[in-house]
Amino acid sequence: MSDSANHDETSDQELEPMELPGRRLRETREARGLSVQDVASNLRLSSQVIRALEQDDYAALPSATFVSGYLRAYARLLEISESELSLPRQAVSNPRLVKSVSTASEPRSRQFPMRLISVLIVLALLASSVVWWINHGNELLFERDDNGASSLSDTRPHLSLPERVVSPPELSAVPSPLETPAEPVDPAPAGAEPTREAEPAAAEPVPVADESAAPVLVQANMELRYQGDSWTEITDNTGERLAFGLVERGTVLQLVGEAPFSIQLGYAPAVEVIFNDEVFDHRPFQRRGVARFNLGGPEHNRPVTR
Amino acid sequence: MGMLGRLKGLFSYDISIDLGTANTLIYVRGEGIILDEPSVVAIRQEAGPNSTKRIAAVGAEAKAMLGRTPGNIVAIRPMKDGVIADFTITEKMLQHFIRKVHENKFKAFKPSPRVLICVPCGATQVERRAIKESAAGAGAREVYLIEEPMAAAIGAGMPISEASGSMVLDIGGGTTEIAVLSLNGIVYSNSVRIGGDRFDEAIINYVRRNYGTLIGEATAERIKEEIGSAYPSAEVREIEVRGRNLAEGIPRSFTLNSNEILEALQEPLSGIVGAVKTGLEQTPPELGADIAEHGMVLTGGGALLRDLDRLLMEETGLPVIISEEPLTCVARGGGRALELMDEHGGDLFAID
């Protein structure tokens, strides 16, 4: 774009003395037997403007955009093609704008030194983090293993291996440190049932685990009440899209599906969410009005990050 | 904007996007307009149990598919009436365009440009937010919005900084924006949801009513471009088109002339004229006098409709001029606004 503009400027400078369009327009108009008044009334301009155009007197005319528009309209009226008539080019792509209010000087962030410094700082940070990881990273891994083993050893005997309670917990944990993370997460139902009957005291942790897993399979109902327009996108556990689009104010959406739901609200403050007949407070998930969250699943109450 | 943003800025452009119903244009600061593609996305439904949706084509390639797709592909125009009709697909489309713009220069990095997007002045807060978020989702580092007529006026080179009224009429694919500007601000603005698409629809309806023949959107657009006009003229032009005859059910070719199309376009055109007249009525008298002296400026694709300026001149009695390169005015104006924002700080225009 800038190249073509430059090109036009230079060609204009070469041709300017003879090629301004005023004379050509006047001659064509006279050849067609039109008066200035005719042209002026046809283009809805004053006759002074038409005379100024014919005399190439741009000082008497409004800004360049209008002049080139008038010239093109005039040329069209006289059936002269635009390419025949060399229109004076001006900074159309680069309009002059003046600030009307005070000028506040803002520090320019795009300057070269700033960029260089920011690059250097980031590189230094990266280098230091690599050095730190080489020194401390391995220790960290070991620490995590120890913590995992010791905390798991307390719950493990109660859940699935009641006969091992007699043996010291440290011994049961040590032989298989790698398997330990998997077991407390999914208590096998076959193992859990006998535990509840045989050991009532140890049964307490089991129902807790059951409760958190139960809603996953249940058909849940949800109601959304709109006090204002909001973009809404709701997907349930099967991946079925229950709502998608702009919902207008005053609407009440009734939805039934398999929990958990993945919900995205474009303007959350205007929407009241009622999940299984309970009002759900989604304010913690709102960021600048937009809320993304999951409802009714194990990820319940955890903001969804994108 | 923190350090990271500044770092990302090293590998991205500052761009201004005219996210239009018909076409999306991207102006890159310092480079000019480097993308001009139809706002169309073709989506393929993959076979199989998961049946995922894939983007098959975006832009000109997808537009060629409009109305010609097999069952598993749909060509969608995600923008309607100047605002987002399908959030996810708009985001994907923007992502594709932004990546395409950065392709030749910063291939190795994920682009995260500063983006200025032009929105219709009639867009609601929700629609503005949707546009802003889809740009952010497409990877934009910072998103600014500017009202379309403001960008159009800057792009057309109108003296909007002066204490003098300038009227701009931007006829896009989905909306027509009318605004009166003075001292870098909008004095009056109105947006009517009439644009190039409504012209096409009107032609389709006319042909169905009078010829009992069904034509597609692409054909209607071609008719409009070749023989469409807004004001009667002595010269009558003709075009031969093909469409499906409703009675016989067989494709037939027939000839249309420019007077018929003029008749077909009466309804949307009178909508635009009405909106212009309302705008002039609502303009304060001093600014109205300035407009009567200098004239109003037409921008946008609609300005290319033959003799539209003549129609408006006859209807309003004011001078009407067509800007240079009306199709790119908004995008160029947005790019200029981005430059001005950096030169003068953010408070030059009302930008959210």
Give me the interface pTM, i.e. the ipTM. 0.78
Q: pLDDT digit string (tens) for A98-147?
A: 444 444 444 455 566 778 888 999 999 999 999 988 887 655 554 444 44
Query: Nearest-CA distance from A207 to chain B in Å?
Result: 35
What type of residue sits at position A36? V
Contact B184 A99 (CB under 8 A): yes
d(CA B144, CA B154): 16
- How many residues in total does chain A contain? 306
Question: Is the backbone peptide bond immediately before B159 cis, with ω within 30 degrees of 0?
Answer: no
Residue B331's closest CA among B113, B80, B76, B23? Answer: B23
Contact A104 B347 (CB under 8 A): yes
According to the model, what pLDDT value does residue A243 have?
Answer: 82
Nearest CA in chain A to B309: A73
A243 touches chain B (CB under 8 A): no
Contact B309 A95 (CB under 8 A): no
* Residue burial A248-272, b: 16+ Cβ < 10 Å; e: rest: eeeeebebebbbbbbbbbbbbebbb
B252 touches chain A (CB under 8 A): no
Residue B218: count other Cβ atoms within 10 Å of its Cβ: 14
Q: pLDDT digit string (tens) for A15-74?
A: 444 467 888 888 888 888 888 888 888 888 888 888 888 888 877 788 888 888 888 888
Stretch A253-281: mean pLDDT: 83
Considering Cα of B277, then B283, then B289, then B292, what sign does the dihedral take?
A: negative
pLDDT band at B107 (very low <50, low <70, confident <90, very high): low
pLDDT band at B7 (very low <50, low <70, confident <90, very high): low
Stretch A183-195: mean pLDDT: 46
pLDDT band at A75 (very low <50, low <70, confident <90, very high): confident
Nearest CA in chain A to B153: A95
A237 touches chain B (CB under 8 A): no
Enumerate the residues of chain A whose CB falls inside 8 A of the CB of residue B347: 101, 104
Q: Which residues pair with B23 in a beta bridge?
A: B38
Query: Nearest-CA distance from B242 to chain A in Å?
Result: 32
Contact B161 A92 (CB under 8 A): no
Stretch A212-224: mean pLDDT: 65
According to the model, what pLDDT value does residue A153 have?
Answer: 41
Is the pLDDT at A149 greater than 80, yes or no? no
A99 touches chain B (CB under 8 A): yes
Please report the residues numbered 212 through 231 in chain B whose beta carbons come closer than 8 angstroms to any beta carbon of chain A: none
Is the pLDDT at B164 greater than 80, yes or no? yes
Question: With the CA atoms of B60, B65, B71 and B77 taken in that order, what torsion angle do they form, in degrees rounded to the nearest 10?
Answer: 60
Among the partner residues A100, A121, A289, nearest to B3 by beta-carbon distance: A121
Residue B98's closest CA among B10, B16, B211? Answer: B16
A293 touches chain B (CB under 8 A): no
According to the model, what pLDDT value does residue B346 have?
Answer: 58
d(CA B36, CA B327): 10
pLDDT band at B350 (very low <50, low <70, confident <90, very high): low
What percent of chain A lies above the pLDDT cut of 90? 4
For the ranges A62-66, A79-83, A114-118, B33-37, the maximum mean pLDDT occurs at B33-37
Is the pLDDT at B66 greater than 50, yes or no? yes
B233 touches chain A (CB under 8 A): no
What type of residue sits at position B316? T
pLDDT band at B315 (very low <50, low <70, confident <90, very high): very high
Among the partner residues B154, B322, B348, nearest to A69 by beta-carbon distance: B322
Among the partner residues A65, A98, A290, nearest to B297 by beta-carbon distance: A65
Among the partner residues B33, B322, B323, nearest to A1 by beta-carbon distance: B33
Give the least confident one: A60-64, B297-301, B325-329: A60-64
B309 touches chain A (CB under 8 A): yes
Considering Cα of B131, then B136, then B140, then B141, what sign does the dihedral take?
A: positive
B32 touches chain A (CB under 8 A): yes
d(CA B260, CA B238): 10
What percent of chain A lies above the pLDDT cut of 70? 54
Among the partner residues A44, A121, A229, nearest to B318 by beta-carbon distance: A44
Which tokens go with B312? Answer: 């408006």
Is the pLDDT at B165 greater than 60, yes or no? yes
Sequence-ordered list of residues with C-beta below 8 angstroms from that of A11, at least 6 positions apart, any chain: none
Please report the residues numbered 318 through 347 in chain B whose beta carbons come closer than 8 angstroms to any beta carbon of chain A: 318-325, 332, 336, 340, 342, 344-345, 347
Q: Whole-model pTM above 0.80?
A: no
Contact B158 A101 (CB under 8 A): no
Nearest CA in chain A to B156: A92
* Lateral strand order in the sheet of A261-265: A241-247, A230-235, A261-265, A290-295, A286-287
Q: Region of A289 please: left (phi>0), alpha (psi -120 to 50) or beta.
A: left
Is the pLDDT at B249 greater than 70, yes or no? yes
Enumerate the residues of chain B whose CB falls inside 8 A of the CB of residue A64: 157
Give the least confident one: A219-223, B5-9, B77-81, B158-162: B5-9
Half-sphere exposure of A4 (CA within 13 A, CB side): 8
Nearest CA in chain B to A229: B126
Please report the residues numbered 131 through 150 in chain B whose beta carbons come closer than 8 angstroms to any beta carbon of chain A: 133
According to the model, what pLDDT value does residue A137 have?
Answer: 62
According to the model, what pLDDT value does residue A259 have?
Answer: 77
Among the partner residues A73, A91, A119, nearest to B309 by beta-carbon distance: A73
